[in-house]
Amino acid sequence: MLFIVCLGFLLSIAILFIHKFIKGNWAWLSTLIPLTSFLYFLSFIGDIAQNDVIKVSYSWISSYSVDLSFMLDGLSLLFVLMISGIGTLVFWYTSSYLKGHEYLDRFYAYLGIFMAAMLGLVLSDNLITMFIFWELTSISSFFLIGFNNESKSSRKSALLALGITGVGGLFLLAAAVILGQVTSTYTISEMLSMSNEIAMSSSYTFIVVMIFLAAFTKSAQFPFHFWLPGAMKAPTPVSTYLHSATMVKAGIYLILRFSPILGETSLWNTTLITIGAITMLYSAIQMLFRTDLKAILAYSTICALGILTFLTGLGTYEALVAAMVFIVVHALYKASLFLITGIIDHETGTRDITKLSGLKQGLMPIAVAGFVAALISGGVIPTLGFVGKDLIYESTLHFKNNAWLLTGIAIATNVLLFYGGFLVGVKPFLGKKPEALPHLHMPSIRLWLPPMLMVLLGLVLGFMPYLLGDSLIMPGAEVLSRGESGLHLKLWHGFNTMFWLSTLTIAFGVIVYLVLKPSDKLLRFSEKFEFISPKSITQYLVSLFKIMSKYWTMLFQNGYLRHYVATYVTFIIVLVGYLLLKDPVLKIDYNTLADLTVYEIVIIIIMFLSTLFTVFTPSRLAAVAAMGIIGFAFCLLYLFYSAPDLAMTQFSVDTLTVILFVLVLYRLPKYLKFSKNYLRVEHGILSTIFGGMITFLILKVISEPKNSEISNFYAENSYVLAKGKNVVNVILVDFRGSDTLIEITVLIVAAIGVFGLLKLRLKARDKK
Amino acid sequence: MEILLAIMTGVLYAAGTYMILRRSIVKLIIGIILFGNGVNLLIFLLGRITKGNPPIISPELKHFTDIYADPIPQALILTSIVISFGLQAFAIILVKRAYKVLKTDDLDMLNTLDEDS
């Protein structure tokens, strides 16, 4: 199973080597990859229908109990079949849709990564692995949305989508970690038996909220829905695959998967019902104002996702069955509508509904497919859509509270979904073809076959819903529900309430379709309210955040060296000063001052004066000379205090430095005072405090007893082990010999640098 | 004597910091050198000071019999002196080159933020 999951990854790695091949006429061969997975998973239908659960585990990071464990049950089988099945059609479709595109190879690579990640996500039995796949889908989605990376709006949409879904992923990680702590396992199937413990634990609310945030951001629920219409900037196959049929359903999958673990509390049910209902209505109304075919489909997708959230929130057995059927229904009609939109776009070059009509001339088969897709979307008998809508009404009507209110909301949404479906699937094909549109002819079979197959499946399953029901939906519902079973899908239930409600929906839908004409006026009207939409508010917050972080950055990172140094120094003063002031008492033995010799006092005075002179002299030469004097005073100091080696080194180095300085001096400009006076005073005070603090620190340290363990080791062993009597030398060349070697290397590098800089001849253009 | 040296270290630190905060690159280098001297003195002091007893074992002995100056700070300072020489030499030459190309030694004139470039 791991191999099948990773096929997509393998494909994208392989594309690195065979990209020329993929870009040529053999692009359609990549279809074999999803097809293989599809057939592989199809072979499990028999086992799953017997309510078997297939578990495979590969050990990965076992010490953190993160393993690649996969679980195939009814629910995940439904999803993997959808992912690989629609994947097959989309791979096939793309080979013609993006034929000859410069980056077709990249596109397939991203698509491969996405498919593998998505399969991994729905198969994972380990929460951490699930999180990794979850984030992988967000990342591959980012690349796919931004596929037309020359377009600014495309890049912006990609970033927005990544921002929202990426943050959502982090919520999932938070939930996973806390769940892992509560249940001391990351395995989802093991959590099933612990739902009571989880519900009792104090982190329950936190976990649920985190799971919700993850699911709502991924599945575009209000108020996080706004990234999805933006994601329509992606090429149409991507919109079909990621942003209607599969990726956005990952959030739904998550809440479905967790409803047996976390569900059946009022927090769980009420939130899902409320958010689902708001999303349904909000996006259904938004749909009325759109004129771009893909925008209409985007909002109708959000609407469908709202319905799914809503159904999961109801949480009854009927509702869960309804949700699972509706997932299939939606995938079938939405994917085909998207693909049809892609064909229209491909053939006419526009997606504006107000400019499209009469396309049935030349595109008749597509028109038929569009009509059937619209029927499925509208839930007209005898399609699978009817079965789905029937189940939705059944579950709202049988819900214990506010049944009629919920049913009302469901009807209103379905009316608008009907309208949306017909708007995209039927309207462009009817009427007279405008002069502006080019002459149309049927596109390649690779374009029209996929939508055709899907609507056909929608029809067949409509007549024989038990094919779907017994093999996938029932085993899936079995996993989710607590022991209930036995609902069988049927197309015809007789003239019951649900049937009349369905008829009512269709009637209203037809009226709305006939009365309402999409126009630019409506679009402009809705744009007036754009400023209070969640998208604008988020963007406003983001820009505010940017301004703030820029200000914050400039506060510390303004590009002036002295500013950085001043910040460091201030920071050290505050930190160390705070510690020192906590115990400000100094134990100083003033008696040592009595032993001072004249030489020592004279050296200190010389050092002190030349330091002051170095700082304040207006002449550069004087400053360098004074610095040399400090160096030589250091030599004497080292000599007095038993460090002859240091004295010698300091002497030679100091001489060299001064000579070097003098050599370059004459080439330099005048030694000017650049800084303003108040800045000099400010820096003076800062430096003085810093110096004072260092003095204080030293006095504090030397009043403590010294630990000479290491020094004693060297002193003891200098001759015994290293046969040397000058301990400092022995340390440098023997005990720490390799350090000295590195030090020499550093010097050589510096010397090469110096040499290079001296010999460097700049080209004329660099001198400017 | 430690007290005086501690004060001297503080003075060197203060002078070094002040010079580093100036705009002229030459002053910056002088500041780094002063600062480096201050650091050396600090390390030296942390090993405590001993008069007239260098850490060299007498030719006829195998161990120290008398007190001796702490060799570790000395080894550290020796390294530090040599490395800072490398740094200084490189910096001085760099200043020279920078002046030749840009005709200024004002740090603020060498300043290019990403947005301006």
Instruction: Tell me whether A686 touches chain B (CB under 8 Å).
Output: yes
Question: Domain map of chain A by residue range?
Answer: 1-263, 280-518, 591-671, 716-768
pLDDT of residue A272: 93
Give the residue from chain A lying closest to B17, CA to CA: A687
> What is the token pair recorded at A382?
């005898």
CA distance A105 to A109: 6
A305 CB-near residues (< 8 Å, 6+ apart): A219, A220, A221, A248, A249, A251, A252, A279
Residue identified by tokens 């695959």 is: A241
A404 close to A411: Cβ distance less than 8 angstroms: no
Give the residue from chain A lying closest to B50, CA to CA: A641
Reduce the DSSP state of residue A61 to 3 states and report it: strand
Give the torsion sign (CA, A284, A288, A289, A290). positive
pLDDT in tens, B58-80: 888 877 878 888 889 999 999 99
The residue type found at A186 is: Y
B84 against A28, higher pLDDT: B84
- Stretches where chain A sits below pLDDT 70 are 482-487, 666-667, 669-674, 762-768
Instruction: Tell me whether A650 touches chain B (CB under 8 Å).
Output: yes
Q: Chain B: nearest CA to A626, how far in angstroms?
A: 10
pLDDT of residue A27: 79
Q: Chain B: nearest CA to A711, how far in angstroms?
A: 6
Give the torsion sign (CA, A113, A116, A122, A128). negative
> What is the token pair recorded at A122?
């729905």
pLDDT of residue B113: 45
pLDDT of residue A36: 92
CA distance A122 to A115: 11
Domains by residue range for chain B, with CATH = 2-51+69-105 (1.10.287)
> What is the token pair recorded at B103?
């005709």
Backbone φ, ψ for residue A439 (5° rounding): -65, 135
Reduce the DSSP state of residue A588 to 3 states and report it: coil
Question: Could you tell me which of A152, A405, A394 has the C-alpha nearest to residue A273?
Answer: A405
Backbone φ, ψ for residue A649 (5° rounding): -60, -50
- Is B18 a residue whose pLDDT tops 90? yes
Instruction: Tell me whether A688 touches chain B (CB under 8 Å).
Output: yes
CA distance A296 to A286: 8
Looking at the partner chain, which of B48, B57, B85 has a beta carbon nearest the beta carbon of A725? B57
Chain A interface mutation, best of B21, B45, B77, highest count of A Cβ atoms under 10 Å = B21
ipTM of the shown complex: 0.91
Q: Kind of pairing, strands A54-61 and A66-72?
A: antiparallel
Chain B interface mutation, best of A561, A603, A760, A762, highest count of B Cβ atoms under 10 Å = A561
pLDDT in tens, A113-148: 999 999 999 999 999 999 999 999 999 999 999 888
pLDDT of residue A768: 45
Could you tell me which residues are beta bridge partners of residue A58? A68
pTM: 0.71
CA distance A459 to A142: 34
Tell me whether residues B23 and A675 touch, CB distance under 8 A: yes
A167 CB-near residues (< 8 Å, 6+ apart): A217
pLDDT of residue A246: 86
Q: Chain A: nearest CA to B41, how far in angstroms?
A: 9
Tell me whether residues A691 and B88 touch, CB distance under 8 A: no
Cα A269–chain centre separation? 28
pLDDT of residue B114: 43
> What is the token pair recorded at A624?
């360098």
Question: Could you tell me which of A166, A165, A164, A192 has the C-alpha nearest to residue A179?
Answer: A192
A155 close to A149: Cβ distance less than 8 angstroms: yes
Number of H helices and E strands in chain A, helices first, is: 34, 2
Chain B interface mutation, best of A612, A757, A765, highest count of B Cβ atoms under 10 Å = A757
pLDDT of residue A605: 93
- B-chain CB neighbours of A656 within 8 Å are 85, 89
pLDDT of residue A124: 92
pLDDT of residue A119: 93
Tell me whether residues B94 and A687 touch, CB distance under 8 A: no
CA distance A251 to A258: 11
